[in-house]
Amino acid sequence: MNKAVGNEVVAYRVQGRIARIAIDNPPVNALSQAVRAGLKHAVEAAQADSSVAAIVLICEGRTFFAGADIREFAKPPQDPRLVDVILCIEQCTKPVVAAIHGTALGGGLEVALGCHFRIADAGARLGLPEVKLGLLPGAGGTQRLPRLVGLKAALDMVIEGNPVPARKALEMGLVDELAEGDLGAAAQALAERIADQGLDLRRTSRLPAPPMDEQWFAEVEQHVRKRKRGYEAPLRCIDAVRAALSLPFEEGMATERELFAALKASPQSRALRHAFFAEREAGKLPFSAPARRIERAAVIGAGTMGGGIAMCFANAGIAVQLLEKDEERLRQGLARIQANYDGSARRGRLTREAVAERMALIHGTTLFEDLHEADIVIEAVFEDMAVKHEVFRELDRICKPGAILASNTSYLDIDAIASATQRPQDVVGMHFFSPANVMRLLENVRGPRTSESVCASVMELGRRLGKVAVLVGSCDGFVGNRMLSKRTRESYFLLQEGATPYQVDRVLHGFGFPMGPFAMADLAGLDVGWRNRQGRLASLTPRERDCDILDRMVAVNRLGQKTGGGFYEYDADRKAQPSAQAEAIVAEHCAQSGIRRRDISDQEILERCLYPMINEAAYILEEGVAARASDIDVVWLNGYGFPAYRGGPLCYADQIGLDTVLEGLRKYEAEHGSIYWRPADLLVRLAESGRGFHDMAS
């Protein structure tokens, strides 16, 4: 080891004629300033050493470089720039071999593209995921990749951001060889061979760019505008790749740099970077407790929700029992699961063998006694406390000591459910979102008596199931539905005051939600919201009670998509049209309620739907129901379709300024009363001290 070359994260050693540059910057070898400086210095040393004939660039630990160090983006840039490090590698007159394992991502792949040869471990994956952070590859990726793998493959990797497995990378020409056995040894052997044979150095930047194909670009752009509505980065990715084809390399690099700098400073990229770290923070608990072993699971209720939860277990390779009241319901539930998997097989997402393996992990039963060996039981039965009590009393009787007893309730009090058992410490909420096998969010709900080890277990289980799990406290509706209820209230009040369902939906869709509240209600079924409302009539305010538009819709069997009409009319393909009947129902209600209807601006609709949610989130934080502002963002991003490029409701609030939000709350408080609009003390404090939700820890 040459101590004079390298630094604390870059080791430099010459073995025979080969210089080995090894980076060790845990956890993911991000290209921090120290890595960049050490790497450049090491390449320069190898260039200057006449005994060195070739260079191997390799990373220690679990992965090749996972990209630029995203945490540095918030700080002023520090030399050497990554582009210059890569140029130094590419211009080296001795062959440089990148030895890739784990994930070569973003700037990491760009480093590999600057090397003259690439060898990869068979399990490696290579990609340019910058677009997912609202960026584009900013160290030559958009200029070198098309020259190496062609326009279509490159554009796809840059716009979608999905990594390709090593074998595909080999087929595409992105890597030259797959390593057999030990990667370091294979890379060393390749470097020796290249040195022996005096192979030409292949500088990617010197390869000819593929020919321009304007028609292809136009098609892709049109497609991207539709599929990634509202996102800026994919369009700028197209611009950068277009520059690779239409400009000389150096000018293309300058275009890429400019586009990258603009995106890095954009609110969208800041929001998406926030979302990236927020998701990782959510998994960190404020205590350390051992997670219990979970090898056998059980789900109670084989309806849509229970079936979806059972599929989550089977997808993760965990055996699961599915319990139903009687054989017929069980048969229907299992058939629904089978049909769901068959659909995935038809679309090519699963092989027939995988379907059979997963179905073999799901065992139906109608006997509670069969659950006595389960490590965890999740009930997904009717949302009614009496029914829940009945189920949990049975579970308490049957389940082995230490089994976790979970409820999939979406709003009921976890402690009240736990009180049906002699083991409240083992009872927890696990709120899956529908369809449970698709939606990423898992809201784990800790009751006041739930033990830390049960919390740690359900968080760990969430990871195994491929979910983004967030631990929250117990209250009516927990984090997500509690905030949603405020938006729902205001959206109905807006109808009373003169807005149409279509205007409200258009505004929220325009903000970036996949659908507005009324289209959403039609999809879920208006009877679902109505039942919930009936259960709460006693706790509603007089205005909420009088605002009975939903009751009127249900009374005439307008239940949404399933009956062909709700707030919209639906044709056989479920295409929605405004509904004259729904408008008449709203108008009739308004005439009777005596509320004067007026024109309502889109801005008012947006504020009245979003500000009460933000305010409710502040109450949630004050009460400690959520531990971090970023956890609330994670819930809304992954469970409620909040546009990712806005970073979640609290990131959005911080971006527009809490003083703006507070001003809006006070204005609507004066118009509609404190009962709905009193600003939370926390929000007032933060706004008045010029801080945001995400400054709270500081």
**Residues 209 to 268 in contact with ligand 3H9, rule: CB under 6 A:** none
Quote the least distance from Cβ 62 to ligand 3H9, whole Å. 7
Output 130 or 527, the one with its CB closest to ligand 3H9: 130
Q: Which two tokens stand for residue 291?
A: 């997670």
Minimal CA–CA distance to 70: which of 125, 31, 101, 115? 31
Whether residue 110 lies in the annotated active site: yes
Which span (27-35, 375-383, 446-454, 557-565) binds ligand 3H9, by CB under 6 A?
Answer: 27-35
Quote the least distance from Cβ 113 to ligand 3H9, whole Å. 11
Q: Which of 14, 34, 70, 524 binds ligand 3H9 (CB under 6 A)?
A: 70
| Number of residues in the chain | 698
Assess 130 for contact with ligand 3H9 (CB under 6 A). Answer: yes
Quote the least distance from Cβ 303 to ligand 3H9, whole Å. 33
Quote the least distance from Cβ 258 to ligand 3H9, whole Å. 13
Q: Are 319 and 363 in contact (CB under 8 A)?
A: yes
Helices and strands of the chain, counted as H and E runs: 30, 19
Q: How far apart are CA 52 and CA 680, in angstroms?
A: 66
From 8, 60, 72, 110, active-site residue? 110
3-state secondary structure 68-124: ECHHHHHCCCCCCCHHHHHHHHHHCCCCEEEEECCEEECHHHHHHHHCCEEEECCCC
Q: Which of 6, 38, 95, 137 binds ligand 3H9 (CB under 6 A)?
A: 137
Which span (129-137, 166-174, 349-357, 654-662) binds ligand 3H9, by CB under 6 A?
Answer: 129-137
Assess 68 for contact with ligand 3H9 (CB under 6 A). Answer: yes
Angle between helices 141-149 and 249-264 (to 10 degrees): 130
Assess 139 for contact with ligand 3H9 (CB under 6 A). Answer: yes
Assess 145 for contact with ligand 3H9 (CB under 6 A). Answer: no
Output 6 or 129, the one with its CB closest to ligand 3H9: 129
Sequence-separated (6 or more) residues with CB below 8 Å from residue 75: none
Output 408 or 638, the one with its CB closest to ligand 3H9: 638
Q: Are 143 and 183 in contact (CB under 8 A)?
A: no
Q: Which two tokens stand for residue 246?
A: 């239409």
Assess 30 for contact with ligand 3H9 (CB under 6 A). Answer: yes
Q: Are 417 and 444 in contact (CB under 8 A)?
A: no
From 130, 160, 279, 460, active-site residue? 130
Whether residue 130 lies in the annotated active site: yes
Q: Are 450 and 424 in contact (CB under 8 A)?
A: yes
**Residues 648 to 687 in contact with ligand 3H9, rule: CB under 6 A:** none
Helix spans in 399-500 (H)? 414-418, 452-464, 480-497
Quote the least distance from Cβ 279 to ligand 3H9, whole Å. 8
How many CB atoms within 10 Å of residue 650?
28
Assess 395 for contact with ligand 3H9 (CB under 6 A). Answer: no
3-state helix, strand, coil in the chain (%, to 5): 55, 10, 35
Q: How far apart are CA 257 and CA 262, in angstroms?
A: 9
Assess 162 for contact with ligand 3H9 (CB under 6 A). Answer: no
Sequence-separated (6 or more) residues with CB below 8 Å from residue 447: 413, 414, 415, 417, 418, 424, 427, 428, 429, 474
Assess 138 for contact with ligand 3H9 (CB under 6 A). Answer: yes
User: Could you write out the DSSP letters of every residue in 558-572?
Assistant: --BGGGTBSSEEE-T
Q: Which of 27, 348, 401, 542 binds ligand 3H9 (CB under 6 A)?
A: 27
Quote the least distance from Cβ 19 to ligand 3H9, whole Å. 25
Q: Exposed (0-12), middle (13-18) or buried (19+): which is 429, by Cβ within 10 Å?
A: buried
Quote the least distance from Cβ 645 to ligand 3H9, whole Å. 15
**Tokens 């070198």 belong to residue:** 144
Q: Which of 69, 160, 490, 633 binds ligand 3H9 (CB under 6 A)?
A: 69
Using CB under 6 A, count the residues that bind ligand 3H9. Answer: 25
Minimal CA–CA distance to 366: which of 330, 394, 335, 397? 330
Quote the least distance from Cβ 160 to ligand 3H9, whole Å. 13
Q: Give the DSSP letter of residue 31.
A: B
Assess 198 for contact with ligand 3H9 (CB under 6 A). Answer: no
Quote the least distance from Cβ 34 to ligand 3H9, whole Å. 13
Q: Which two tokens stand for residue 514?
A: 């996949």
Q: How far apart are CA 618 and CA 656, in angstroms?
A: 16
Which span (25-33, 187-195, 435-443, 488-496) binds ligand 3H9, by CB under 6 A?
Answer: 25-33
Output 66 or 632, the one with its CB closest to ligand 3H9: 66
Q: Which of 152, 223, 227, 280 binds ligand 3H9 (CB under 6 A)?
A: 280
Q: Which of 105, 406, 626, 653 binds ligand 3H9 (CB under 6 A)?
A: 105
Quote the least distance from Cβ 309 to ligand 3H9, whole Å. 23
Quote the least distance from Cβ 586 to ligand 3H9, whole Å. 46
Q: Which of 90, 110, 490, 616 binds ligand 3H9 (CB under 6 A)?
A: 110
Sequence-separated (6 or more) residues with CB below 8 Å from residue 651: 271, 274, 275, 278, 630, 633, 693, 694
Assess 364 for contact with ligand 3H9 (CB under 6 A). Answer: no
Assess 133 for contact with ligand 3H9 (CB under 6 A). Answer: yes
Q: Are 114 and 89 in contact (CB under 8 A)?
A: yes
Q: How far apart are CA 143 and CA 138, in angstroms?
A: 9
Q: Which of 95, 114, 129, 664 binds ligand 3H9 (CB under 6 A)?
A: 129
Assess 286 for contact with ligand 3H9 (CB under 6 A). Answer: no
Output 29 or 450, the one with its CB closest to ligand 3H9: 29
Assess 442 for contact with ligand 3H9 (CB under 6 A). Answer: no
Catalytic residues: 110, 130
Residue numbers at the binding site for ligand 3H9 (CB under 6 A): 27-28, 30, 66-71, 82, 103, 105-107, 110, 129-130, 133, 135, 137-139, 141, 277, 280
